Structure 1
Amino acid sequence: MSDTTPSVAVLGTGIMGAAMARNLSRAGFDVRAWNRTRAKAEPLAADGITVTAEPADAVRGADLVLTALFDATAVLETMRAAVPGLAASAVWVQAGTVGPEGVPPLEEFAREHGLRLLDAPVLGTRGPAENGALTVLVAGDPQAVREAGPVLDTIGAKTLVLGGRPGAASRFKLVANHWVLTVINGTAETLALAEGLGIDPRDFLGAVAGGPLDMAYLRNKAGQVLAGDYTPAFPLAGARKDAELISRAAEGAGVRLDAMPAVAARLRRAEEQGHGADDAVASWFASFAGSDYGSGDARGCA
């Protein structure tokens, strides 16, 4: 990297990418950002970030490129568009959740263009991202990991190095997201069942409060349903994509998962009801398909 203030290009400024870009700018990095829908990136200009019209403009001269995009297809399309501006030997921090199936094409692209790829998905949602408190999972060349250290330390509170070959971090991320999606779906279904059986969901939460069945994430997600507030921390469309990645990875590894394919189907149903941009716990609506609950409104438990 350069001896002056490192230049970072952030490609993808959704919930996670925008938060990362802001934290990097506040930490003194020279940040340029691009998003497919430019209007969503424009507010970053107020944080001293240069918003560009094309990916190639964002990466031109950048010491480090950070991608925070929806899936492997979006990552490859964006990086191909960035080729005219890419610097040879730049470090590429790939922070999106692409699963182990998505890593080999990215490795091939990196080799073709002289980039040093770091497989670096993160654990955490909107709040940790905004607070620079993500857990960064990283696998790749040790020297590239060291060079990227200041960036990783800015976007996250903890970095877990998982080896020198890309892929390990993406596998780890699916294990973690399996747990996350299990809790989210379990919360949504439990509250839906309570609603259907005429039980006040608040009574259920009171019954488990302070005991071994209680957890902060349960209360966080249940609180959204009870308030009818589905402001996304983990968008449902992304959760559906991750559930599908998990299911395919498990099948490829010879591991039978019964619940996760059902979770993926449930999330697809809620997405079809119009909740793809809502928080993943809006899968609550999928329990009431064919009724007023499934009409795409924002209500929660009564």
Structure 2
Amino acid sequence: MTNRPTVAMLGTGIMGAGMAGSLLRAGCDVRAWNRTASKAEPLTAEGATVPESAAAAVEGADFVVTMLFDADAVLAVIGEAAHAFGPETIWIQSSTIGLEGTKRCADLAAERGLTMLDAPVLGTKAPAEQGKLVALVSGDSAAIDRAQPVFDAIAARAVRAGDELGRASALKLACNAWVASINAATAQSIALARGLGLEPQLFLDAIGGGPTDSAYAQAKGQQMISGQFPTSFAVDGVIKDLELISAAAVLAGVSDQVLSALLGRYRQASDAGHGGSDMSAVYAGFAAPES
């Protein structure tokens, strides 16, 4: 690997595009690929190249980052491109695909002789664009050390979850359960305040600066009050993650009652036409009466 690593970014949706931009600013050579090529093309203005296929993106790359919707998409893309991996190429699997999905990817990596790191990230659109994600990483420690330039580019910090593939994905599920809960709880309180005839801003003002406050509640709460939901992380993406989290909870013998309730609210918001809207649109799942 040279001082200017080559990174194949497979998947340039909201998160992948932001991560690609951060890699470019850090001085990496970035090959951006997406099944819908038009989603990758804007990155050429920042210095990325856009190969015609995933295999072409991977060939000769030092690192391959996957940021795709689900395990099936990851397996399909890597299955098509695995033959183009070099012996030193490291696959950084950053999609949120749960425990079973990560095991399937690890099995594919073992079958094809690929070096894989389990490396989902915490954060949404703005942190991805700013290189301020939190990388959760598990796998071979020497491979993690070699991949540090990638983590330095995309993340404010990296949390090592263990040597076993899947430990980072397990941590991601626990973290996303928390994020989905904060967001829905904020919606519930804003809906309740409005339903009781209060200005909903009073709720955010009341918790502001106190021990129960959070920057996330304030940011998402403002979107809920305004009724504007510019997408950083879509409602349907949260539904997919909550399904993965619920499956993991059952496997771990942990109650999934709260998760089931959360899923109900996010699904209701999606059914109301907000599936592609930001997760703050879960507010619609509480059907708060307008005062």
The answer to whether TM tops 0.5 is: yes
- Amino acid aligned to 2:287: F
Q: CA deviation at 1:84?
A: 4.0
**What TM-score do the two structures reach when normalised by structure 1?**
0.92
Moved more, 189-198 or 19-28: 189-198
Moved more, 166-175 or 198-207: 198-207
Cα distance in structure 1, aligned partners of 2:27 and 2:124: 23
1:205-224 to structure 2, matched below 5 A, reads: 205-224=204-223
Q: Does 1:195 align with 2:167?
A: no
User: Residue by residue, what CA displacement relative to the aligned partner does 1:150-204 show, whole Å, maximum 9, x if unpaired?
Assistant: 1111101111112111110000011111111110011112212222232210122
Partner of 1:25: 24
Cα distance in structure 1, aligned partners of 2:88 and 2:113: 5
Cα distance in structure 2, aligned partners of 1:277 and 1:57: 31
Cα distance in structure 1, aligned partners of 2:12 and 2:72: 16
Cα distance in structure 2, aligned partners of 1:264 and 1:244: 8
Partner of 2:250: 251
Equivalent pair of 2:32/2:49 in contact (CA under 8 Å): yes
Moved more, 177-186 or 53-62: 53-62
User: Residue by residue, what CA displacement relative to the aligned partner does 1:95-149 show, whole Å, maximum 9, x if unpaired?
Assistant: 1111112111101111122211100011111121111111111000111101101
Cα distance in structure 2, aligned partners of 1:38 and 1:264: 32
Cα distance in structure 1, aligned partners of 2:52 and 2:198: 52
1:32-111 to structure 2, matched below 5 A, reads: 32-111=31-110
| Other structure's SS at 2:147 match | helix
**What TM-score do the two structures reach when normalised by structure 2?**
0.95
Cα distance in structure 1, aligned partners of 2:212 and 2:164: 38
| Other structure's SS at 2:72 match | helix
Query: What is the alpha-carbon root mean square deviation over aligned residues?
Result: 1.6
Partner of 1:161: 160
Cα distance in structure 1, aligned partners of 2:261 and 2:114: 38
- Amino acid aligned to 1:288: A
Q: CA deviation at 1:42?
A: 0.9
Instruction: Count the aligned residue pairs.
Output: 291
Cα distance in structure 1, aligned partners of 2:64 and 2:5: 11
Equivalent pair of 2:189/2:203 in contact (CA under 8 Å): no
Q: CA deviation at 1:62?
A: 0.8
Equivalent pair of 1:88/1:113 in contact (CA under 8 Å): no
Q: Which runs of 5 or more residues in structure 1 are unaligned? A: 294-300
Identity of aligned residues (%): 47
Partner of 1:281: 280
| Other structure's SS at 1:200 match | coil
